[in-house]
């Protein structure tokens, strides 16, 4: 541990602070005291001189207004006698009397300036006092001696009329000399007080810093992992209480260290086994931690990505910098999809920083949202398809109805065709709405089916008979069905709808003279029901999509035949609700086979039979 310098010691700091606080307090008191004393002395000095000037002004006014004869002394001689008392009169340097109209100097108390009598004064302050009819004073510097002087010009009034002015020059340096002496005394007293205070501060600081020094040694020992040492308690004041608390803290810290180590191991275990990917970086954006799920999501090795920049790891070099990620408020979508497979991750970023704002690094949490994006895409596509499917018949109906409203209903040949088309489009909309309602019911959480045990062979045979009697095409039916009964627990109405949709599609796409084959196979604890046609077939890239809502392989032909694109989607939902699967196999130009499986228990046959 680096040795603490003399001026960094808390002992010295405590004494310095103690002395500085006292010094600041004394300086504040001293400044206020000196300023007030100076103001008082100067005010008293000026007040005393003003009283003498006022008395002199009264005497001068009497002399000026006095009626004189030829035998009487002149006004200048009388004023000279009056001013004799002010010659070398203590702090007064000179007193002048000035006549108002001519601004002529009538007398001066300075024996060396008698030559000024009878001359016109040039002092502006005298003129201002007579014009403004008020005292004019100022604190100036004497150019000859360099001392401070105070000048005063007071108007002499006779009634409301100004008849002259008295100009006074006084030595005020004595006031400042007194203040200088007082400041010297105050500074000496302050120095003595500081010396005594410093000694007392040293003694007082020792009583406080000794326990603190012990606690410092204990802290250093704790930093090295030694928790066995105890701080000595010197008393039971605040410092003593602190020492006791410090000893308790040592014990708690020892326990906390053990707990922290345990939590660290738990956190490491959580990071290893959590499903979300977690990546941590240092303050320069280099990867310092990555858990197994994150490595699997990014298809990288944990050992190879350490110290690699996170922007490179996430393949964001072209779009983002590490500083951009630090300021990122929303999550980033990372699209790693290929032509064969969609793969999308969402990255949330959290900055690790101290209370001061210093950035220590970044935490990135990765979520696999491929399935969510797929569902959102299908939802948007579903809404678009519904809108399109509803708009098409509505547009057709509006066109024909507008034509009828414009008079086409009078045409006996056109009107029936228009009404027939409108009726077909209406039926098409009804089928579409009914299919949508069926899907909506299947999607609802409270959807219920009426399950009962049904001999599926007889049930399937009846459905085939119904289609065979109602068919209008030249298509033959071939049945490959078991001779014995197969009992399946199902909702008969819903399963009828599945077979209706599948068989209807087979008949729609079967050519004239073709054949539709119906089969049932038993496999483990399921039965596989198939319907095969000899139609045009389905392209390989479309086989996996035919069970999506509104998907059509040949959109123009399907719409022409009145299909809604929802039949196989409804069949898929119903079969899934029964615990089975549905799929398709096809070869272009040779036909298509739609198959679905249903669970059944073969042991039930004996019971039912």
Residue 214 has pLDDT above 60, yes or no: yes
CATH number of 374-443: 1.10.287.130
| Whole-number pLDDT of residue 520 | 92
Q: Do domains 276-368 and 374-443 have the same CATH topology?
A: no
pLDDT, tens digit (0-9, with 9 covering 90-100), for 99-144: 888 888 888 888 778 888 888 888 888 888 888 889 888 888 888 8
pLDDT, tens digit (0-9, with 9 covering 90-100), for 250-271: 888 878 877 877 777 777 777 7
pLDDT, tens digit (0-9, with 9 covering 90-100), for 396-420: 777 777 777 777 777 777 777 777 7
Query: Is residue 285 left, alpha or beta, with left meaning phi > 0 and alpha meaning psi from -120 to 50?
Result: left
For residue 536, the SS3 value is: coil
pLDDT, tens digit (0-9, with 9 covering 90-100), for 61-102: 888 878 777 777 787 888 888 887 776 667 888 888 888 888
| Whole-number pLDDT of residue 17 | 80
DSSP sequence for 297-327: HHT--HHHHTTSBHHHHTT-TTT--HHHHHT
Share of the chain above pLDDT 90, in %: 6
Is the pTM value of this prediction over 0.85? no
pLDDT, tens digit (0-9, with 9 covering 90-100), for 3-47: 444 555 666 777 788 788 888 888 888 888 888 888 888 888 888
CA–CA separation, 389 and 406 (whole Å): 26
Q: What is the mean pLDDT of residues 522-526?
A: 86
CA–CA separation, 312 and 122 (whole Å): 90
Residue 605 has pLDDT above 70, yes or no: no
DSSP sequence for 142-161: -TTT--EEEEEEEEEEETTE
- Which CATH number fits the domain 452-608, given the four candidates 1.10.1670.10, 2.30.40.10, 3.30.420.40, 3.30.565.10? 3.30.565.10
Residue 604 has pLDDT above 60, yes or no: no
| Whole-number pLDDT of residue 215 | 78
Phi, psi of 406 (to 5 degrees): -80, 0
- Confidence band of 557 (pLDDT split at 50, 70, 90): very low
Residue 562 has pLDDT above 50, yes or no: no
pLDDT, tens digit (0-9, with 9 covering 90-100), for 432-482: 677 667 666 666 555 677 889 999 999 999 989 888 887 877 889 999 999
More confident residue, 256 or 585: 585
For residue 508, the SS3 value is: helix
Class level of CATH domain 276-368:
alpha beta
Q: What is the mean pLDDT of residues 383-398?
A: 70
- Domain boundaries of the chain, sorted by first residue: 11-178, 227-273, 276-368, 374-443, 452-608
Structure tokens belonging to residue 234: 């010197």
| Whole-number pLDDT of residue 431 | 67
- Confidence band of 607 (pLDDT split at 50, 70, 90): very low
Least confident of 242-251, 315-324, 579-588: 242-251
Mean pLDDT of the chain: 80
Residues in the chain: 609
8 A C-beta contact, residue 325 and residue 349: yes
Least confident of 276-290, 365-379, 499-513, 522-536: 365-379
Class level of CATH domain 11-178:
alpha beta
Structure tokens belonging to residue 20: 């500085």
For residue 285, the SS3 value is: coil
Taking the mean position of all CA atoms in its chain, how far away is CA 87? 83
- 317-326: long-range contacts (C-beta < 8 A, 24 or more apart)? 322/281, 322/284, 322/285, 322/362, 325/285, 325/349, 325/362, 325/364, 326/351, 326/359, 326/362
Query: Is residue 550 left, alpha or beta, with left meaning phi > 0 and alpha meaning psi from -120 to 50?
Result: left
């Amino acid at each position: 541990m680096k040795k603490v310098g003399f001026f960094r010691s808390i002992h010295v700091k405590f004494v310095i602070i103690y002395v500085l606080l006292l010094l600041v307090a004394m300086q504040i008191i001293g400044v206020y005291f000196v300023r007030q004393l100076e103001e008082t002395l100067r005010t008293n000095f000026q007040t005393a001189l003003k009283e003498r000037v006022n008395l002199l002004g009264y005497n001068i006014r009497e002399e000026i207004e006095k009626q004189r004869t030829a035998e009487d002394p002149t006004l200048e001689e009388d004023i000279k006698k009056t001013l004799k008392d002010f010659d070398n009169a203590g702090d007064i340097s000179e007193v002048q009397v000035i006549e108002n109209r001519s601004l002529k100097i009538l007398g001066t108390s300075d024996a060396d300036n008698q030559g000024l009598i009878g001359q016109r004064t040039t002092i502006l302050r005298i003129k201002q006092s007579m014009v403004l009819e008020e005292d004019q004073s100022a604190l100036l510097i004497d150019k000859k001696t360099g001392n401070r002087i105070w000048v005063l010009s007071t108007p002499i009034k006779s009634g409301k009329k100004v008849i002259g002015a008295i100009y006074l020059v006084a030595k005020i340096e004595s006031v400042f000399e007194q203040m200088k002496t007082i400041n010297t005394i105050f500074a000496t007293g302050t120095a003595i007080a500081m010396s005594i205070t410093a000694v007392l501060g040293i003694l007082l600081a020792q009583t406080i810093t000794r326990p603190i020094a012990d606690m410092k040694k204990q802290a250093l020992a704790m930093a090295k992992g030694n928790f066995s040492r105890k701080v000595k308690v010197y008393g039971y004041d605040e410092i003593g209480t602190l020492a006791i608390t410090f000893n308790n803290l040592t014990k708690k810290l020892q326990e906390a260290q053990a707990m922290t180590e345990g939590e660290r191991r738990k956190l490491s275990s959580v990071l290893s086994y959590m499903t979300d990917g977690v990546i941590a970086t240092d303050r320069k954006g280099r990867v310092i931690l990555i858990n197994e799920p994150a490595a699997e999501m990014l298809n990288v090795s944990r050992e190879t990505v350490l110290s690699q920049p996170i922007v490179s790891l996430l393949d964001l070099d072209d779009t983002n910098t590490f500083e951009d990620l630090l300021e990122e408020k929303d999550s980033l979508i990372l699209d790693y999809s290929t032509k064969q497979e969609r793969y999308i991750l969402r990255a949330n970023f959290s900055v690790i920083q101290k209370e001061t704002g210093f950035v220590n690094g970044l935490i990135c949490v990765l979520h696999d949202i491929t399935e969510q994006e797929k569902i959102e895409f299908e939802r948007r596509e579903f809404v678009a398809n519904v809108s399109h499917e509803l708009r098409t018949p509505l547009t057709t109906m509006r066109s024909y109805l507008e034509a009828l409203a414009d008079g086409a209903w009078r045409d006996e040949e056109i009107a029936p065709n228009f009404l027939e088309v409108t009726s077909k489009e209406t039926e098409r909309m009804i089928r579409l709405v009914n299919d949508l309602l069926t899907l909506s019911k299947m999607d609802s959480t409270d959807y219920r089916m009426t399950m009962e045990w049904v001999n599926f062979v007889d049930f399937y045979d009846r459905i085939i008979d119904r289609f065979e009697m109602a068919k209008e095409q030249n298509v033959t039916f071939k049945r490959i069905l078991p001779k014995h009964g197969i009992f399946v627990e199902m909702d008969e109405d819903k399963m009828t709808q599945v077979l209706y949709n599948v068989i209807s599609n087979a008949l729609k796409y079967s050519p004239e003279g073709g054949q539709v084959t119906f089969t049932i196979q038993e496999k483990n604890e399921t039965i596989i029901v198939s319907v095969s046609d000899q139609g045009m077939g389905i392209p390989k890239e479309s086989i996996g999509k035919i069970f999506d809502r509104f998907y059509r392989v040949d959109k123009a032909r399907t719409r022409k035949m009145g299909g809604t694109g929802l039949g196989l989607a409804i069949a898929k939902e119903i079969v899934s609700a029964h615990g089975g699967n549905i799929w398709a196999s096809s070869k272009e130009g040779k036909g298509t086979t739609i198959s679905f499986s249903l669970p059944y228990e073969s042991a039930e046959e004996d019971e039912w039979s």
